[in-house]
Amino acid sequence: SQKIEQNSEALNIQEGKTATLTCNYTNYSPAYLQWYRQDPGRGPVFLLLIRENEKEKRKERLKVTFDTTLKQSLFHITASQPADSATYLCALGSGNTGKLIFGQGTTLQVKP
């Protein structure tokens, strides 16, 4: 069955450092992959999308890579700030149905 794995342990880093979150998947061939941010008590918010034929995408301090051979996406936040502390979810999609399958999320804590 389709499986998406994100590091279940919280990631604690120091302000100013680069945070790297991992999303691995099996038994799936997604056409695209999305990353969402979720703050406590709120719904997820879309951050970035990367398609299967794209290796890397950037948006301000965010960078996403997508390796369909390794079946892995890496999500980087450079120059991290305490305000970046949240749970980050990866989601896989295919076709034009809009249906997404979400990972469990990784909680990031940036300490000042």
Partner 1 sequence: DAGVIQSPRHEVTEMGQEVTLRCKPISGHNSLFWYRQTMMRGLELLIYFNNNVPIDDSGMPEDRFSAKMPNASFSTLKIQPSEPRDSAVYFCASSLTGEIYNEQFFGPGTRLTVL
- Distance separating alpha carbons of residues 16 and 76, to the nearest angstrom: 12
Instruction: Answer yes or no whether residue 101 interacts with partner 1 by CB under 8 A.
Output: yes
What's the half-sphere exposure (Cβ side, CA atoms, 13 Å) at 45? 9
Question: Nearest distance from residue 54's CB to partner 1, in Å?
Answer: 12
- Distance separating alpha carbons of residues 95 and 30, to the nearest angstrom: 8
Q: How many Cβ atoms sit within 10 Å of the Cβ of residue 80?
A: 22
Question: Nearest distance from residue 103's CB to partner 1, in Å?
Answer: 7
Question: Nearest distance from residue 49's CB to partner 1, in Å?
Answer: 5
Question: Which of these segments, 45-53, 57-65, 67-75, 76-84, binds partner 1 (CB under 8 A)?
Answer: 45-53
For the chain, the distance separating the N- and C-terminal CA atoms, rounded to the nearest angstrom, is: 41
Mask for 57-96, x = binds partner 1 (CB under 8 A): --------------------------------x---x--x
Query: Coil, strand, or helix at residue 105?
Result: coil
Q: Name the residues that contact partner 1, by CB under 8 A.
A: 32, 34, 41-46, 49, 89, 93, 96-105
